[in-house]
Amino acid sequence: MSDTDKTPLSSPQAGGKGFRFWLIFLALCVSLFLSALEFSIVANALPVIINELQGEEFAWVGTAYALAATAFLPFSGVFGRKWSFIGALLVFTLGCALCGAAQSMAWLIAARTVQGIGGGAIQSISTIVVSDLVSLQERGKYNGLLGMTWAVATSVGPLIGGALAQQGRWRWVFYLNLPICGVALGLCVIFMRLPTPPGTLREKVKKMDWIGNFLVVSSTTSLVIALTWGGARYPWSSARVLVPLILGIVGLLAFFIHEMFAATHPMVPRELLSNRTTVSGYVQVFINSLVVVVWVYYLPIYYQGCKGASPTRSSVNMFGITFLTGPFVVLGGATVSIFKRYRPQLWIAWVLAIIGAATLSTYDVETPLARAIGLTVIGAAGAGLLFGATYFPVLSPLHVSQNARALALFAFFRAFAGIWGITIGSAIFTNKLTKHLSPEFLAQFPGGVDIVYSIIPTISSLHEPTRSEVRHAFAESLKPIWYTITALVVFAFLVSLLMADVPLQNVVDKRWALEEKRGNAGESGEKRSEEGTVSA
């Protein structure tokens, strides 16, 4: 008999959710607010931060966070939901404090790495806890609440970040997270009494796929270095670019071979990729996450570099994406709960995403600002629907006992996409900027185009015709990024057609389900952990 056959299942509680459920859900919302705020607040303030710290490699501020999130996701469930979550919040809090105190770019990038370790685990464990407590069939409405949390954070994040950066107080972009971290930690310590995976620490550590984790992180880092340096700092034919590029490609191939044939406890379990619907869902979440990261990181460059917007004004211009994404997350989740179907929403979402991505490729210096802002609403609608519905095709074909592993991989792909969104955008932007800026202008910046990025806040003060030439160069350098993401969303739409119409489950894994008071207060969660046989 397989493990899935022995998994105790239960139907959702009748009569609504209890008090403890909503307190745990509140803790998740506060924590996700932190993660979403960090995601949106930094990009808009980044030109000012780079300018003040006089740094290079601007892309690494975002990439370091995403790499760390990817690297440490497999560790997120070793100590159980509660203590992993508390540990993630503590690490995230430390990262915020270190970022705010940064005195150099190297310091900031290192601090962002610490922050990413906690931020990635927060997103992963939040999703797993919701899957423990709520069946797939009713999860849409709760996803909607989480989506609204994300929407509020991503709406106020750019505005706060822009305003603080414009006033020279960018360090508070990170310090503002500290009191929210305190609230989230308090809620988790007091109310998040959930089962803990059985087994000793040694047994849990042995189940980690150390080789796979090392291969994917090291090879990805190598590729990021090659793509960041190639054409911008060194020629593509240079050994400094070719060596990390080749090592990265070979490393990723070795990772997939290891996962499929050698790993005892793989990060990418073969059984999770055994049906086309789940595979389609993973591809869709990867591409949607990549595209949204590109929008969040590179649209502010357009508004500030090409249209002369201040950081604050740029954040207002981004409202079309940041604010309107949330209601469509709610709409996507709610319609899945009502109609028990997810394919129509995803197909509509990808059509909207294609239109939204394609319209960006028409942006240039002369594009009316109203049009440059208004057209982003189309892409925001598609992205919101996708955020609300992409994990339904991932989970619907799988047994409920595989929820945690499937969602950990889901979070892995989402974090992994962030790396490639920032890196691909940076590689395209810096290479094209080198070609479009005049040699005389570039000669003023021995550090290369990464240093040119830092002058965005001062473009408006340049004399004509230099100012117009620089703005035109920025616009033309961004266009290939929009072309690339348009091709990616078209591909994702084609992949979405592979989904089967799989009914949504209406059960939860009893080993991880929340039970209200039974006997002495607080014993329901921890004592039941002895019955469990799987780890997060």
* Domain of residue 345, CATH code: 1.20.1250.20
- Confirm whether 412 is domain-assigned: yes
pLDDT at 525: 42
- Confirm whether 536 is domain-assigned: no
Same domain, 304 and 227: no
- Confirm whether 138 is domain-assigned: yes
* pTM given for the model: 0.77
The structure tokens listed for 56 are 């290079």
Per-residue pLDDT band at 79 (split at 50, 70, 90): low
C-beta of residue 79 within 8 angstroms of C-beta of residue 195: no
Same domain, 249 and 310: no
Q: Which of 92-96, 104-108, 144-148, 209-213 has the lowest mean pLDDT?
A: 144-148
Domain end among 219, 247, 264 = 264
Kindly tell me if the per-residue pLDDT of 47 is higher than 50: yes
- Confirm whether 367 is domain-assigned: yes
Same domain, 449 and 391: yes
Which carries the bigger pLDDT value, residue 504 or residue 89? 89
The percent of residues in the chain predicted with pLDDT above 90, rounded, is 14
Q: What is the three-class DSSP state of 267?
A: coil
User: CB-hemisphere CA count at 13 Å for 69?
Assistant: 32
Domain end among 223, 242, 264 = 264
- Confirm whether 115 is domain-assigned: yes
Please, what's the largest Cα pairwise distance for the chain? 78
Distance CA 246, CA 243 (A): 5
Per-residue pLDDT band at 519 (split at 50, 70, 90): very low
What's the whole-number mean pLDDT along residues 106-120? 86
In angstroms and rounded to an integer, the radius of gyration of the C-alpha atoms of the chain is: 23
What's the whole-number mean pLDDT along residues 493-506? 87
Sign of CA dihedral 168, 169, 170, 173: negative
Mean pLDDT of the chain: 79
| AA identity, residue 371 | R
What's the whole-number mean pLDDT along residues 341-357? 94
Kindly tell me if the per-residue pLDDT of 524 is higher than 50: no
Specify the number of domains making up the chain: 2
C-beta of residue 438 within 8 angstroms of C-beta of residue 469: yes
Same domain, 502 and 386: yes
Kindly tell me if the per-residue pLDDT of 46 is higher than 70: yes
Same domain, 215 and 348: no
pLDDT at 507: 59
Cα 465 to the center of its chain, rounded Å: 39
pLDDT, one tens digit per residue, over 386-403 is: 988 888 898 888 877 777
pLDDT at 533: 32
pLDDT, one tens digit per residue, over 183-225 is: 888 888 887 776 666 666 677 677 777 888 788 888 888 887 8
Closest CA to 284 of 487, 423, 144, 488: 488
Distance CA 78, CA 359 (A): 44
Same domain, 302 and 345: yes
Same domain, 326 and 345: yes
Q: What is the three-class DSSP state of 200?
A: coil
Distance CA 199, CA 197 (A): 7
Same domain, 180 and 248: no
Domain extent, residue 238, equals 209-264
509 has which bridge partners?
A: 9
